[in-house]
Every structure is written in C-alpha cells, then in structure tokens.
Amino acid sequence: MDKESRSRQEERYIDIRRLFSVLKRGILWILAAAVLAGAFGYVYSKQSDAPVYRTTGYLMVKAGEDQKVDSTSAEGQAYLMTLTATYASICRSQELLNTVIEDLDLDMDYTTLYGRVSVSQIENTYIFRVTVSDASGDMSEAIVRDMIQRAPEILVPIVGEGRIGEVDHPYTNMQAGSAGTRKTIIQAAFAGAFFMILLLLIQAALDRTVRGSADVEDTLGLNMLGVLPQEGSASKTVLPLPARTDKGEDEEKKAVPIVPARMETEAVRALRTRIAFLLEKEGAGNVLMVTDAEAGGQGEDLAAALAVSFAKAGRRVLLVDTDLRKGTLYKKLGIPDEIAANGLSGWLRGEDEDWTRFVLRSKKYGIDFMPAGKASRNFPDLLGGERMADLLRYASAEYDLVLCSAAAAGSSADALALGCLTHTTILAVPHKDRHVVRSRVRGTADQLRFIGISILGAVLTSFRADRAEVEDSGKFIYKNQ
C-alpha cells in the first residue's frame, strides 16, 4: 500500500458497529451525564416553580347612551365587535397602567407591569378579559380590580365611542410557574445524555491512536500478528537463571521474577503460533528484532514473552538485549547488576572471542539470555558492525530462534543499524496510547522499510479487552488475559 492510499485510509469512518461499541464503552459516562443534568434540572425547577397566581376580570363593551346601534343587525354587531377589539388593544396603555402603579404604589415600572398583564377578546362576544400574573394572589387581584375600576374613565375618552363596564367579580387561581418538576428533570436528563453521546463520538472521530487491527493493517500497512495483554494482578512467574562467569563456572541459582505472568496466556500462545506460521511460510529466517514504534513501549516485555513461549513449544531460543543505551531487560528478569555487566557490549568490544561466555542459561525454561552489558558509546556503530553480524550468524546456527530486543526504532538509530543484520522485525505498538499516534508509527515503519528492513508485522502491547474495537472482539480477546 503506497503512501497516498494509506493517507486516504487515515480518513477513518465509523460504521454502525463501531458507533455502538463507542457508546457501550461510554455508557457509564452517559448515565453520569444524564444523572447530573437531571439533578440540575430538579434544582432549577424547584427554584423556578414558585406558585404563580393569575387573577382574571371581564369587561363588556356597549354602545354609548347617545348612540343608536342595533345590536341585532349584522352592521351593529360588526361595529360592536370592532369597538371591543379597540378597547382590548389599548387596555395596556401607559396612561392606564401608570395610573394603577400610582394607585397601588407598586414597586415596578410600566414595562414590568405590562409583562404581567394580558388582555384578549372572547371570540364572537363584546367582552374582553384582563389577566394579571403575580407571585402574590392579593397583588394580582388588586391590580385587576384597579384596572377594571379605572378603565372606563381613562379608555372611553381615548376611544371616544361606546362605554365599558365590569361583567363579573375577578377570580384568582394558582398555577405552577413552569411545565412541572418531572418534565423538567426528564428533559434535562435527555439533554445531558445527548451531549455526552455527542462528546464521545467527537472524541472517537478525533482519536489518532492505534485502536486495533484495522489501524494496523489498513492505515499502517502492517500484518496484525496479535496482542500482548496489559499486565494484571497475577503473580509473576519465577525463572531461575544460572549465570556463567568469565571462568565458565556457574553462579548459585537464584529464583527471580521474569517479566510477566502474561507469558503463559492464550494471547501469547496465539501470537507465537502466528509468528511461527509466517516465519515458515515466508522463509523469513530465525533472527528477529523486536522493537518499539515509540520510546517507552513494551518491546522488552514482548521479546521476553515470545522467548519463553517459543521455549515452551520446544524451540531453542536466545534472547539478546541489544539496547546498549539502557539495557534494562536484565532487571525485569531479576538478574543482579554484577552478573548483567558481562554481556553484549563485552563481546562487541572484543573482550572475549567465545560469545557463549556472555550468555546466561536457564535449564528450567530452556531460554538463554545475553544481557546488554555495560553502557557504551557509538551504539549504532557497534550494533551495525562486523562482530554483531558474526554474533547473529553464530547464534542463528546454534538456536532455532534468536530474539533481539532493540531500543525504540522511532527514537534512535540503533534499531536501524541492527535491523539490517536481522532477518525480520516485529514492531511493538501500544494499544490506544494517547502519546503514540498512527502517523508517527507509520513514519517509523516507512523508515524501516526504506532502508530495506523486513517487517513481519505488528503486535499491540498493553492490550485491554475492555477497550478493544468491535472488529477485534472475536479475534484477540481470550478468557485468561
């Protein structure tokens, strides 16, 4: 797959299954958002649901005493209907409402009172209603009574025709100030859940980490070999590692913890099977470099897990720590500093012509290990030199499988130098690590390929089944991981 094709693959779509997978993993966040929003809605509704009193009074419009209007004729009825609409429209005039404010000494201005008063004509009648809303029933009733009392003397002169009078005594009822607490809570909860779902989908769309086999195969253009599960709380495997001194004498055996108890999981056994199949199918050789796509990964753990697993399957395996900068694999294997100081760097400097004197052996697990030894300068020169090539050639003839744990290919030149001497490479890629984005992993893979280094495939490290993509749920999730 060329760069242009992989660039197009970077525009990753989310199908329906993946959408539901995202929502399933975020269900707790969705529920939490709904509960918090519902609680906010409850508090808001309680604050806004104070009782509101509405008092309504009615005024009837009649023809003036000096007017001769036949209310039974169509023309007279039309006149009175128009007159009623006119009085209703000016009932909230400034003159009338300001008079009411003065009469009752209200602590509000015209605009405030105008917002609390509503006036409407009753259909097909000469009556219009005046309604006032207030938190106090007494206040709303007082305002309506004063408006009805003042309306004739203020409004009739303005209109200049007809007369108005009270139809019935005003009445007051109490209503909630909002649609109700339950409705508000439900609406707020749904809104909270919706926004959380939207946030989760946006987060998934913007996610640039390596999320699963689809990213490895489509975007990165690599074979998906398998996964290395994230280490749980299981106890660590004990591996006795007798060490050979410069004199060829064995040190006292010590029970030390080897990297993970993950080594014996079904995931690692499945990974071993895939690697063995590809090595035989492609004739890739038996010298493998295991390196991280980015610094801080678990390439060392992966190399150790594969070494033990292949040894369990009856292979003769040599594990070589080629990280001459740090060389911390011996610590994970529980090897004392004084023993680990005699390792690969000693061979590369020519301290001894017998490379086997730098190898530590374990009869129990059948794994042989060569530590990095003392830190050295000119790392790429040593790893890409003639003595390193000789070592790998000797080891390849002696062992069924040689695993070289190298420094991260994405942050040093060591893996580039070493990769030119090994037969093929396994790239360890962190699963959904926010510090490792797909574009950088792809850049590392392209750099290895550019100088002719063969990449057998990639392994997702720190793999968590509960965060697996939907397409991986049936392929890389095992019961005991």
**What's the pLDDT at 206?**
75
Round to whole Å and give the CA distance between 281 and 287: 15
Residue 480 lies in a domain: no
Residue 317 tokens read as: 């395996």
Instruction: Looking at 316-398, list the stretches that DSSP marks H as alpha helix, in order from N- to C-terminal side.
Output: 329-332, 337-340, 344-349, 379-383, 386-398
* 184 and 171 share one domain: no
> What does the DSSP assignment read for 174-222?
EE-SSS-HHHHHHHHHHHHHHHHHHHHHHHHHH--B--SHHIIIIIS--
* 374 and 263 share one domain: yes
Round to whole Å and give the CA distance between 98 and 111: 10
* 185 and 152 share one domain: no
Q: What is the pTM of this model?
A: 0.60
Domain CATH code at residue 118: 3.30.70.1130
139 DSSP assignment: H
Domain extent at residue 156:
52-175
Whether 35 contacts 189, CB under 8 Å: yes
Residue 415 lies in a domain: yes
Round to whole Å and give the CA distance between 446 and 371: 29
| For residue 285, pLDDT beyond 70 | yes
Q: In what order do the strands lie in the sheet with 317-321?
A: 224-229, 455-463, 424-430, 287-292, 401-405, 317-321, 367-370, 360-362
* Each residue's pLDDT tens digit, 20-39: 777 877 889 999 999 999 99
Domain CATH code at residue 316: 3.40.50.300
Residue 479 lies in a domain: no
Burial of 382 (0-12, 13-18, 19+ CB in 10 A): buried
Whether 151 contacts 159, CB under 8 Å: no
250 DSSP assignment: B
Whether 455 contacts 217, CB under 8 Å: no
* 169 and 257 share one domain: no
* Each residue's pLDDT tens digit, 401-415: 999 999 888 888 888
* 118 and 149 share one domain: yes
* Each residue's pLDDT tens digit, 436-480: 777 888 888 899 999 999 999 998 888 776 666 655 655 565 555
Round to whole Å and give the CA distance between 319 and 406: 11
Question: Strand 360-362 to strand 255-257: parallel, antiparallel, or no bridges (unpaired)?
Answer: unpaired
**What's the pLDDT at 394?**
95
Number of domains in the chain: 3
Residue 478 lies in a domain: no
Percentage of the chain lying above the pLDDT 90 cut: 38
**What's the pLDDT at 328?**
82
Residue 477 lies in a domain: no
* 59 and 165 share one domain: yes
* 325 and 187 share one domain: no
**What's the pLDDT at 245?**
40
* 161 and 186 share one domain: no
* 330 and 436 share one domain: yes
CA angle 403, 407, 411 (to 5 degrees): 145
**What's the pLDDT at 262?**
47
Residue 20 lies in a domain: yes
Q: In what order do the strands lie in the sheet with 163-175?
A: 117-121, 127-134, 52-62, 163-175
* 319 and 433 share one domain: yes
Whether 267 contacts 228, CB under 8 Å: yes
Question: Which positions ≥6 away from 346 have C-beta within 8 Å?
Answer: 352, 358, 373, 374
| For residue 325, pLDDT beyond 70 | yes
> Strand, helix or coil at 266?
helix
Under the banding of pLDDT at 50, 70 and 90, the label for residue 214 is confident
* 144 and 105 share one domain: yes
* 163 and 94 share one domain: yes
**What's the pLDDT at 176?**
53
